[in-house]
Amino acid sequence: MLKLDDHKVIFVAVGLIGVLVFASPTLGLVLRLPGGERFSELWILGPGHLVENYPYNVKEGENYLVYVGVGNQMGSSAYYVCYVKLRNQTEPLPNATSATPSPLSPLYEYQVFLQDGKSWEASLSFSFENVSFSSDQSFVGSITINGVGSSLGKRALWDAENKGYFYELFVELWIYSVESGSTQFHNRFVHFWLNMTRNT
């Protein structure tokens, strides 16, 4: 048989546990536990919503389709802007080390408002117009993205090593910062190469 003092210890322990249980909702309001890592996701999927069959050999007048997606894991609602840009081999991509965006002008944009834990996806269809070729370079006069045409005037030199006239389509993710009151580059971008070919 346990001594009375041993029973007392059990009662005190039960009492403390009970008080903790009743106090836990208040403790939850007062104590802020560190949350998980906060981040945003950005992706491009092929026409079948899979990581395959991305457009590669493209030509004038054809329509191509990919999907752009964004996921919010920032711990609160977020306001994102996705800028679609196109570059040739010599023009700069965003710099992930210095977290600076590409200085190229956007051709198209998406604005997305997402609650924490939610994701968004939209189609990105594009076609090229006024494409011409000379001996060692190709010229793209304009691009139409989701039905909106923009003049482009971009040249790509013949790449003898990879055998093609290469352009790179990329999407930059920007996020609205309440502290600065402006939209800032979120240091995330996705890209894929396009080889401009002649119409046969």
Partner 1 sequence: MAILVLTVLFCVVCRGSFFALAVYESSMKIEAADSAVRNAFVAVLDVEKVGGNVSGLMSELDGAGRLLAEANNAYRSGDLSGAEAKAENVRLIAESVRSEALELKSVAESQSQRAFWFTIVFSVAGSAVFVGVLILVWNKFKRGYAKRLMGMKPEVAADAEA
For 196, half-sphere exposure in the C-beta direction (CA atoms, 13 angstrom radius) is 32
Among 23, 50, 99, 157, binds partner 1 (CB under 8 A): 23
Alpha-carbon distance of 166 to 162, in angstroms, equals 9
Nearer to partner 1, 39 or 113 (CB): 113
Nearer to partner 1, 140 or 145 (CB): 145
How far apart are CB 118 and partner 1 at their closest, in Å? 9
The residues, any chain, with a CB within 8 Å of residue 25's CB and separated by 6 or more, are none
Nearer to partner 1, 101 or 164 (CB): 101
- 17's tokens: 């546990």
Q: Is 132 in the site for partner 1 (CB under 8 A)?
A: no
Contact track, partner 1, 76-105, x by CB under 8 A: xx-x-x------------------------
Asked if residue 31 lies in contact with residue 1, where contact means CB atoms within 8 angstroms, the answer is: no
- Cα dihedral sign for 51, 86, 185, 121? negative
**Interacting stretch for partner 1, rule CB under 8 A, among 4-12, 54-62, 86-94, 155-163?**
4-12
Amino acid identity for residue 77 in this structure: S
Among 106, 164, 186, 194, binds partner 1 (CB under 8 A): 106
Q: Is 153 in the site for partner 1 (CB under 8 A)?
A: no
Q: Is 112 in the site for partner 1 (CB under 8 A)?
A: yes
Nearer to partner 1, 67 or 133 (CB): 67
DSSP 96: T
Among 58, 68, 70, 114, binds partner 1 (CB under 8 A): 114
Closest C-alpha among 162, 189, 173, 149 to residue 61:
149
- Cα dihedral sign for 29, 30, 33, 36? positive
Asked if residue 59 lies in contact with residue 129, where contact means CB atoms within 8 angstroms, the answer is: no
Sites of contact with partner 1 (CB under 8 A): 4, 7-8, 11, 14-15, 18-19, 22-26, 29, 76-77, 79, 81, 106-115, 145-146, 148-150, 176, 178, 181
